[in-house]
Amino acid sequence: MSSSKILVVVKLPTTDTHLRNELFERLLDISEHARDNEPGTLKYAILIPREDDGRTAWVIEEYTDQKAYDTHMASQGVTDVNKWFNTVPIFNQSNLPVLRNLSHLPDAELTRPDTVHHNDPHILYTEVPKSGETSPSPLAAGTHQAKRVTDVAKEQEPGTLIHAIFKDLEEDGWYGALEAYESEKYHLDVHENGEAAVKMRMDMGATAVRHKLKLVGGYLYK
């Protein structure tokens, strides 16, 4: 059984820095509207890679349920930015945006209210795809371990602000993880050295792709 919450992760590889900056302005307006007017939009975070290439943007959105998602998508800001995408050469046809609709694994979800007080948390988004055409993500068989890591974070790691495991709603066998820490040092020295986290990394296997992200606007908790 999955949570009713929906996490949307979008990677937006723009064609130049100027257009990315204009995109940021539009996304910030959307995030402010969501924060103030959409109680079902729990997260609307605008991010860039920690090692910034000047072009890539990420957006991480979380909704209480499908109705909240539909409400957000029907908002004027979202309608306007989608129209804008069709009027400027912001994306290269060979490197288009990637969007994933994800669902929380039950009991593998943590977002601390204290997250709101951290302006620059250490954020990681990890993709754990299928290990082969017919083989599911390594996490598919290790979801119990993922839950254990989240439990340990809740009980013993106050500096672990977000720790959640997801499965893709459209691609069977694909899993992902979203993490945020008070600092990179806390992540490496405390969380990564925990027995449960070590075992989970082993479960993820060689197919895992980790993205280090920096928050530049929006919110991860409200």
* SS3 category, 208: coil
**Cβ-proximal residues to 95 (8 Å cutoff; 6+ apart), any chain:** 13
pLDDT at 62 over 60: yes
Predicted local confidence at residue 146, as pLDDT: 79
pLDDT of residue 47: 99
The residue type of 147 is K
Categorize the per-residue pLDDT at 137 as very low, low, confident or very high, splitting at 50, 70 and 90. low
Higher pLDDT, 107 or 31: 31
| Nearest partner of 79 among 67, 71, 89, 88, judged by Cα | 71
pLDDT in tens, 108-119: 899 999 999 999
Element (H, E) at 143: helix 143-156
Q: Coil, strand, or helix at residue 181?
A: strand
94 vs 214, higher pLDDT: 214
Q: pLDDT digits over 84-105, tens only?
A: 999 999 999 999 999 999 999 8
Give just the sign of the alpha carbon dihedral 152, 7, 216, 118: negative
Is 68 a residue whose pLDDT tops 80? yes
Q: Tell me, what's the pLDDT at 2? A: 58
**What percent of the chain is predicted at pLDDT more than 90?**
76
Domains of the chain: residue spans and CATH? 6-219 (3.30.70.100)
Q: pLDDT digit string (tens) for 162-212?
A: 999 999 999 888 889 999 999 999 999 999 999 888 887 777 766 789 999
Residue 100 CA to residue 103 CA, distance in Å, equals 10
Residue 17's identity, in one-letter code, is T
User: How far from each other are the two terminal CA atoms of the chain, in whole angstroms?
Assistant: 26
83 or 148, which is more confident: 83
Residue 131 reports pLDDT greater than 90: no
| The pLDDT of residue 135 | 61
